[in-house]
A and B are shown apart, each in its own frame.
Chain A
Amino acid sequence: MYQFSGKLKTFSLALIIFGVVGIAFSFYSGSQKTIEDAKHAIEASNSDAHGGAHGETAAPHGEAVNHDTHAEKTDKEAHASMIEAHSEVDAVHGNSHDNEHAEHVLHQLQNRPWSAFYVALFFSLGITLLVLAFYAIQRVAQVGWSVVILRVMEAITANLLPVSIIMALVVIASVMHLNHLFPWMAEGTVDPTSDNYDPIVDGKSWWMNSTGFLLRSIAYLLIWNAYRFFIRRSSIKEDTANDGNKTYKKNYNASVIFLFLFMITESMMSWDWIMGLDPHWFSTLFGWYVLASLLVSALTVIAFFTIYLRAKGALPHVNDSHIHDLAKFMFGFSVFWTYLWFSQFMLIWYADIPEETTYFVARFTEYKLPFLGMVVMNFVFPILLLLNSDFKSKPWFVFIGGFVILAGHYMDVFIMVMPSTVGAQWYIGIPEISALCFFIGLFIYTTLNAFSKVSPIPKGNPFLEESKHFHYYNIEHSGEESGDH
């Protein structure tokens, strides 16, 4: 049995408390933003645009890309001539436009604490969900090598319930108009008499309506949590079942059903929770792209906890071959993520259909460094670091690779969310860091707490012996006393 050390408990609680304080502060300062602040922000980015190094990242244009309810044509022209176009529009519309514009920037400023929280929340929820899915895959595929780390995966999924509750609260808050995260939820978007009327959103109102959004969100969370609740209980029962693999088979069937539902809910979840932030944009690949990003991160988190718990002696049967396999998965799915990222990007870039291209124009103009940096972190780095077979079995190497991968995929989620909600008003500061701290603290606490509750070895699994004796042929197991492999 693993003992959750007091030090680490304190550390994770400290992260949570620090996070809560930071989040509270960012919400407080975010809610204090006034129209004056917005005007300052516009001025600052305009002066930047004319003289500064951030010339091409000037605020108003990207903002126009995402949020203007003007026809696409106007958008397109605005990109084409960038700053000039904007100042012309300014000149024509004069003061009233200025105010409208300022109100828009104000919403972005007020969105920032929400978005920062939402990015970290979605990342945390997504990772936990994908660990659950990977765990289900291990059961369905009757995997022989990973049985000794099944309990690690199970423990990580303990995070699912708290983050699901937080997600449900955020969804409810959005529906109650406490934030401006989802532009389609704004007042009057489906009312033809309103100034805010958006015919595109109106056309989708069968899908994009608050009731449906709320019900679907709750349904996804319930389905995932139901499986997690069942499988955790049943997996512990498996240890002592001794019923000729009856419990094992029941768990197998439950995992098949979960994976079936997961494939559907995951796509829908990504349309609702992420693609819906940009109600005018769409991409058929999006669901799977989000899946790939979260899957890599989930594998990395599994590897991290496995390495940590093994170092603490809590996983007696995990050897270098297991680490090697995890690192191989991290490597392989990093490439897979890149494949999907590139497919989506390249196809949209190639066809250059305005209504789709806006998505990448916004990201390319305002988020150039994180957008391109993320590709380096998520592809180039893991490719170079984790290609070598020897490196993949070295925990500290996997740790470095994994750290970059996690940071890269945080950036990925950041870039999916931020351009749509805060536009050019992005920055990595207290709101982002404190939200991240909160969820990391929660992650560590729930995982290790759950891991310390039950035996780390799933005794009842029929493949346990295979996993104990797992030895990948060219891996030299270092620093292990046991000689049974």
Chain B
Amino acid sequence: MSHYEAPIREPLVLGDKSYHDITEDIARPIEGAANKNWYIAFYISLAAMLWGFGCIFYTVGTGIGVWGLNKNIGWAWDITNFVWWVGIGHAGTLISAVLLLFRQKWRMAINRSAEAMTIFAVFQAGLFPIIHMGRPWNAYWVLPLPNQFGSLWVNFNSPLLWDVFAISTYLSVSLVFWWTGLLPDFAMIRDRAVKPFQKKIYALLSFGWSGRAKDWQRFEEVSLVLAGLATPLVLSVHTIVSMDFATSINPGWHSTIFPPYFVAGAIFSGFAMVQTLLGIMRKVTNMEDYITRMHIEYMNIVIILTGGIVAVAYATEFFIAWYTGSPYENYTYLSVGAATGPYKWAFWSLIIFNIITPQLLWIKKFRRSFIITFIISIAINIGMWFERFDIIAIVLSKGHLPSTWWRFEPTFVDVGIFIGTIGFFFVLFLLYARTFPVIAQAEVKTILKSSGEFYKKRSEQGIPTKPAIVVLKSGNKKKDSDNNLNG
């Protein structure tokens, strides 16, 4: 009875699915050929990516001066994009790790793609710390390596150095976590492959997974341990990113709420990106039976929650900035100065896209609507970009000394690199969607009988669905009729 599930819970797998159907559905995009739309999307992304790479080479070859930065605003689009991409990556780990710890079954249909999104987003994020350097060829100096300068080491007091450790650890752990989960799924593709080349590739990728009981037991334990490690990691990574700002003494940056507030914002924007991607993916890969309205609604609820936390943090920032009695706070991010100053358009974009629009999700009809969800998720992605831009640029544009007040105007290179990372991200994601099992079939199969629509209906009607094999007293093995459905 340990798999008892209350009838009030909505099914997570729709239709009359058997185990075999799940396999077929998930293997189909990998085994079939790409259609025209895929190629169009791919080439557009590739073009954007190449354009972005061009801008990066131009920056490195010519100098950071080709960006719109000036001597007062030394960080703008570069770090904005960095934080934005890192933030997007956080939902993946949240879905696979935190929701695993909370035993949320609905994560199973979305965790694979969310983790892929994490990894590809962290790739994009990882570009910025390198390319925004004045001398990126010396980037390896950030590593504490013994060297010929009398073992000259790094200073461990800088949050920018913590960033190096945080991001690289985060990428490594996410990658391992993701790949471990992929082993049974790659093995499934390997076992089905008919072309020798494909078989060879997936045989390599699946590390000889054979699905024995002992393997599964260890697999589960590893997943749980990794989830337990990834959860503090996901909190600490964005915390460290937030400390790039919060450890400073700039009014508007120096704020103790930044660590949890950035994390909440990361989950908020990350989930918005998952909604954007899955909203499209479920259609084009025909995964509507697995990524259901229920999944979309649950994610929207997480968005409301984290959006609410972010809103409380804004209110706190606003209140405490006033409460400090410091006149400097009045010129900065989320203050009267920001709402009326030269960046008021950025400030109000943040308020409208981040706080006001997501409130529509309180209405059940809206949060169960694919179209409205998609639109709101885009709005949040924009809003969260503005949040980072506001924090960075507005604060730097009006520092302690009025003689340092300056404006920031991005150049085409700033914009080009950002577009390039979006292109790069979609190149990776599109390739992934064609070659990787986009849903963790091994996991979905574990909930089919407890949360599948067909089985839920049967158990409500009192038709037994378990155990699959009944051992009779005489010792004969009798196959339960339901089991014939499972290929």
A interface with B by C-beta (< 8 Å): 142, 144, 200, 203-204, 207, 245, 260, 263-264, 267, 271, 282-288, 332, 335, 339-340, 343-344, 347-348, 350-351, 353, 355, 462-463, 465-466, 469, 471, 473, 484-485
Q: How far is the CA of A467 from the CA of B165 in the complex (A)?
A: 42
Nearest chain B residue, comparing its CB with the CB of A288 = B260
Nearest chain B residue, comparing its CB with the CB of A335 = B232
B residues within 8 A CB of A471? 2
The answer to whether B316 touches A287, judged by C-beta atoms less than 8 angstroms apart, is: yes
The answer to whether B8 touches A463, judged by C-beta atoms less than 8 angstroms apart, is: yes
| Residue from A263, A343, A484 in contact with B312 in the complex, judged by beta carbons closer than 8 Å | A263
User: Closest Cβ of chain B: how far from A289's Cβ, in Å?
Assistant: 8
User: Closest Cβ of chain A: how far from B395's Cβ, in Å?
Assistant: 14
The answer to whether A343 touches B260, judged by C-beta atoms less than 8 angstroms apart, is: yes
A residues within 8 A CB of B239? 339, 343
Please judge, given known A-B contacts A203-B325, A263-B312, whether A284 and B257 are in contact too, CB under 8 Å.
Answer: yes
The answer to whether B6 touches A351, judged by C-beta atoms less than 8 angstroms apart, is: no
The answer to whether B1 touches A285, judged by C-beta atoms less than 8 angstroms apart, is: no
User: Closest Cβ of chain B: how far from A173's Cβ, in Å?
Assistant: 25
The answer to whether A282 touches B320, judged by C-beta atoms less than 8 angstroms apart, is: yes
The answer to whether A340 touches B248, judged by C-beta atoms less than 8 angstroms apart, is: no
A residues within 8 A CB of B236? 339
Q: How far is the CA of A388 from the CA of B319 in the complex (A)?
A: 42
Check B309 for interface membership: any CB of A closer than 8 A. Answer: yes
B residues within 8 A CB of A353? 249, 254
B residues within 8 A CB of A283? 256-257, 320
Check B243 for interface membership: any CB of A closer than 8 A. Answer: yes
B residues within 8 A CB of A203? 325
User: Closest Cβ of chain B: how far from A396's Cβ, in Å?
Assistant: 24
Query: By CB atoms of chain B within 10 A, which of A142, A267, A335 has the most?
Result: A267
Nearest chain A residue, comparing its CB with the CB of B312 = A263
Query: By CB atoms of chain A within 10 A, which of B7, B243, B324 has the most?
Result: B324
> Which residues 200-256 of B sit at the A interface, judged by CB distance below 8 A?
220, 232, 235-236, 239, 243, 246-249, 254-256
For the complex, count residues of B whose C-beta is within 8 A of A. Answer: 38
| Residue from B2, B247, B257 in contact with A288 in the complex, judged by beta carbons closer than 8 Å | B257
The answer to whether B256 touches A284, judged by C-beta atoms less than 8 angstroms apart, is: yes
Contact mask for chain B residues 304-341; partner A; CB cutoff 8 A; 1 contact, 0 none: 00001100110111011001110000000000000000
A residues within 8 A CB of B247? 347, 350-351
The answer to whether B2 touches A469, judged by C-beta atoms less than 8 angstroms apart, is: yes
Query: By CB atoms of chain B within 10 A, which of A285, A344, A466 has the most?
Result: A285
Q: How far is the CA of A190 from the CA of B313 in the complex (A)?
A: 29
User: Closest Cβ of chain B: how far from A147's Cβ, in Å?
Assistant: 9
Check B480 for interface membership: any CB of A closer than 8 A. Answer: no
Please judge, given known A-B contacts A347-B246, A348-B256, A466-B5, whether A267 and B312 are in contact too, CB under 8 Å.
Answer: yes
The answer to whether A469 touches B256, judged by C-beta atoms less than 8 angstroms apart, is: no
Since A284-B320, A285-B255, A347-B246 are in contact, a sample of 18 more A-B pairs with Cβ atoms closer than 8 Å, ordered by chain A residue number, is A142-B9, A204-B323, A245-B8, A264-B312, A282-B324, A283-B257, A284-B313, A284-B317, A285-B259, A286-B256, A340-B260, A344-B256, A347-B247, A351-B249, A351-B254, A355-B324, A462-B7, A465-B6
- Pairs A-B, 5 closest by C-beta atoms: A284-B257, A285-B256, A343-B259, A203-B325, A462-B8
The answer to whether B255 touches A284, judged by C-beta atoms less than 8 angstroms apart, is: yes
Nearest chain B residue, comparing its CB with the CB of A266 = B312
The prevalent SS among residues of A at the interface is: helix
Nearest chain A residue, comparing its CB with the CB of B1 = A469
Nearest chain B residue, comparing its CB with the CB of A348 = B256
Q: How far is the CA of A283 from the CA of B246 in the complex (A)?
A: 12
User: Closest Cβ of chain B: how far from A129's Cβ, in Å?
Assistant: 16
Q: How far is the CA of A287 from the CA of B261 in the complex (A)?
A: 12
The answer to whether B246 touches A267, judged by C-beta atoms less than 8 angstroms apart, is: no
Check B4 for interface membership: any CB of A closer than 8 A. Answer: yes
B residues within 8 A CB of A473? 2, 220
Q: How far is the CA of A372 from the CA of B7 in the complex (A)?
A: 50
The answer to whether B320 touches A466, judged by C-beta atoms less than 8 angstroms apart, is: no
B residues within 8 A CB of A465? 4, 6
Nearest chain B residue, comparing its CB with the CB of A263 = B312
The answer to whether A200 touches B325, judged by C-beta atoms less than 8 angstroms apart, is: yes
> Which residues 280-297 of B sit at the A interface, judged by CB distance below 8 A?
none
Q: How far is the CA of A116 from the CA of B324 in the complex (A)?
A: 28
Q: How far is the CA of A276 from the CA of B145 in the complex (A)?
A: 48
A residues within 8 A CB of B235? 339
Instruction: List 14 interface pairs A-B (beta carbons < 8 Å), by A numbering.
Output: A204-B325, A260-B308, A263-B312, A264-B315, A271-B323, A284-B257, A339-B239, A343-B239, A347-B243, A347-B255, A351-B249, A351-B254, A463-B6, A484-B1
B residues within 8 A CB of A264? 312, 315
The answer to whether B323 touches A282, judged by C-beta atoms less than 8 angstroms apart, is: yes
B residues within 8 A CB of A335? 232
Please judge, given known A-B contacts A284-B317, A339-B239, A347-B254, whether A144 and B6 are in contact too, CB under 8 Å.
Answer: yes
Nearest chain A residue, comparing its CB with the CB of B220 = A473
Q: How far is the CA of A350 from the CA of B156 in the complex (A)?
A: 13
The answer to whether A485 touches B325, judged by C-beta atoms less than 8 angstroms apart, is: no
Q: How far is the CA of A408 from the CA of B56 in the complex (A)?
A: 52
Nearest chain B residue, comparing its CB with the CB of A462 = B8
The answer to whether B309 touches A347, judged by C-beta atoms less than 8 angstroms apart, is: no
Please judge, given known A-B contacts A204-B325, A462-B8, whether A343 and B316 are in contact too, CB under 8 Å.
Answer: no
| Residue from B1, B248, B313 in contact with A351 in the complex, judged by beta carbons closer than 8 Å | B248
Q: How far is the CA of A392 from the CA of B255 in the complex (A)?
A: 36
Q: How far is the CA of A466 from the CA of B2 in the complex (A)?
A: 8
| Residue from B5, B256, B308, B319 in contact with A343 in the complex, judged by beta carbons closer than 8 Å | B256
Contact mask for chain B residues 73-97; partner A; CB cutoff 8 A; 1 contact, 0 none: 0000000000000000000000000
A residues within 8 A CB of B254? 347, 351, 353
Q: How far is the CA of A332 from the CA of B102 in the complex (A)?
A: 12
Nearest chain B residue, comparing its CB with the CB of A260 = B308
Nearest chain A residue, comparing its CB with the CB of B320 = A284
Please judge, given known A-B contacts A260-B308, A466-B6, A485-B2, whether A285 and B249 are in contact too, CB under 8 Å.
Answer: no
User: Closest Cβ of chain A: how far from B377's Cβ, in Å?
Assistant: 22
The answer to whether A263 touches B4, judged by C-beta atoms less than 8 angstroms apart, is: no
| Residue from A271, A284, A347, A462 in contact with B6 in the complex, judged by beta carbons closer than 8 Å | A462
User: Closest Cβ of chain A: how far from B308's Cβ, in Å?
Assistant: 6
Contact mask for chain B residues 373-405; partner A; CB cutoff 8 A; 1 contact, 0 none: 000000000000000000000000000000000
Q: How far is the CA of A485 from the CA of B323 in the complex (A)?
A: 55
Nearest chain A residue, comparing its CB with the CB of B324 = A282
B residues within 8 A CB of A267? 312, 315-316
B residues within 8 A CB of A350? 247
B residues within 8 A CB of A284? 255-258, 313, 316-317, 320
Please judge, given known A-B contacts A284-B317, A339-B235, whether A469 and B4 are in contact too, CB under 8 Å.
Answer: yes
Q: How far is the CA of A147 from the CA of B258 in the complex (A)?
A: 35
Nearest chain B residue, comparing its CB with the CB of A285 = B256
B residues within 8 A CB of A348? 256
> Which residues 340-377 of B sit at the A interface, judged by CB distance below 8 A?
none
User: Closest Cβ of chain A: how far from B346's Cβ, in Å?
Assistant: 21
B residues within 8 A CB of A351? 247-249, 254
Q: How far is the CA of A343 from the CA of B320 in the complex (A)?
A: 17
B residues within 8 A CB of A340? 259-260
A residues within 8 A CB of B257? 283-285, 288
Q: How far is the CA of A245 from the CA of B235 in the complex (A)?
A: 37
Nearest chain B residue, comparing its CB with the CB of A268 = B319
User: Closest Cβ of chain B: how far from A339's Cβ, in Å?
Assistant: 6
Please judge, given known A-B contacts A335-B232, A350-B247, A466-B4, whether A285 and B260 are in contact too, CB under 8 Å.
Answer: yes
User: Closest Cβ of chain A: how far from B364's Cβ, in Å?
Assistant: 11
Q: How far is the CA of A282 from the CA of B255 in the complex (A)?
A: 10
B residues within 8 A CB of A200? 325
User: Closest Cβ of chain B: how far from A380's Cβ, in Å?
Assistant: 15
Q: How far is the CA of A284 from the CA of B7 in the complex (A)?
A: 44
A residues within 8 A CB of B4? 465-466, 469
User: Closest Cβ of chain B: how far from A125's Cβ, in Å?
Assistant: 21
B residues within 8 A CB of A355? 324
B residues within 8 A CB of A245? 8
User: Closest Cβ of chain B: how far from A352's Cβ, in Å?
Assistant: 8
Q: How far is the CA of A359 from the CA of B469 in the complex (A)?
A: 66
